Amino acid sequence: MPLLFTNIAITLLGLGATLSAFGGETWLKGDAPLVQRITKRGWISLVCILSAIVLGVIKEVSQHQSRVATAKEQKWLNNEIIRLTNDLTEAANILADTEAKISEQQLASLEAAFQVSHTKPGTADDDVVHLRGQEEVIPRSRHSSTMQLYWGDEFKYTIIAPKASANDLSKLALRVGDRTYPLHESPTKVTYERSIRIYGTDPRPMEAKILNPEGLKDVMLKITVLSTDASRGQKKFRRIVLSGIWAEIAKKMYKRTNADILNIRFEPDTSSNMVGRLTRGSFVRVLQSQNMWTEVATPEGRQGWVRSEYIVDIE
């Protein structure tokens, strides 16, 4: 707006100078000094012209300063854009690295679940617990951070306590869910072996805890858990494959067999030596395909070739 008013003022002053000089004399002839010979019209015209010149100079100075300020602001904006672009690039790289690490962890978890998907009836978990005065100890698991038990599992253990009395050991107990099982019931033995059947009706896993209310030390428990569910590992792996965030990738990487007995051969040829056999419903990891054969790996670590028609998607 100030620039608009300046332009209007310069225009009006120019118009005033023109009109004041139009139709009359602005200065008179004679020998007197020029200043004395300038008429009233002349002075009006001269003042208008000088005022217009001054406003024009002020306008140019103002525009120059504005251009300088704009240039500085533009330079600052360009620097900010460069900085933000660099920050975004760095953030994108960090995000890509994070996604790659997450992908590696997810695939590693998937492979770990695959490796225990062949669990047979028998040992499902084990641990060695050392009591060093703690009132509660949560046994560790081979499959997760804590030992999880299911109803129907058999909890076998051996207590070795050379420095404790049988009376001291009588306070040891196992807590599973809302049930507590005494661990030592012998009046004399300090080395004690026993098995406990876990009771319950809830199919969900329950955390196991060793209770040591007397704060006993130098006591060791060797624990073995026998599972009554032969397919628990398979069920867990199948659930991960079908519902995990990498389900589409997992379905391509892992398959199941649909033949009662499927031979694994050393080479993709029916005359090649067998390296193992798979029963119906076994899970395998696909390594590569060649014609009518697929190279697979089993959860136990065996590797060989099977006929492609006998492996299907996990459903």
**Of 115, 143, 175, the domain-final residue:** 115
pLDDT score, position 249: 79
Average pLDDT over residues 113-132: 72
- Indicate whether 121 pLDDT > 50: no
CATH of the domain at 258: 2.30.30.40
Same structural domain, 11 and 98: yes
Same structural domain, 269 and 308: yes
Contact 214, 134 (CB under 8 A): no
pLDDT score, position 3: 67
Domain enclosing residue 178, as ranges: 122-227
Confidence of residue 294 (pLDDT cuts 50, 70, 90): very high
129 vs 112, which has greater pLDDT? Answer: 129
Same structural domain, 55 and 155: no
Same structural domain, 36 and 66: yes
Put the strands of the sheet holding 254-257 in their side by side order. 274-279, 261-265, 303-307, 293-297, 283-290, 254-257, 311-312
Average pLDDT over residues 176-185: 89
pLDDT score, position 136: 94
pLDDT score, position 232: 62
Same structural domain, 188 and 215: yes
Same structural domain, 91 and 70: yes
Tokens of 183: 């661990």
**Of 227, 256, 283, the domain-final residue:** 227
Tens-digit pLDDT profile for residues 194-231: 889 888 777 678 899 999 999 999 999 999 888 765 55
**Of 179, 205, 227, the domain-final residue:** 227
- Go through the chain and tell me how many residues it has: 315
pLDDT score, position 36: 65
Same structural domain, 92 and 27: yes
Q: Is residue 178 helix, strand or coil?
A: coil
Same structural domain, 105 and 138: no
**Domain total in the chain:** 3
Same structural domain, 195 and 265: no
Tens-digit pLDDT profile for residues 50-74: 777 887 777 777 877 888 888 888 8
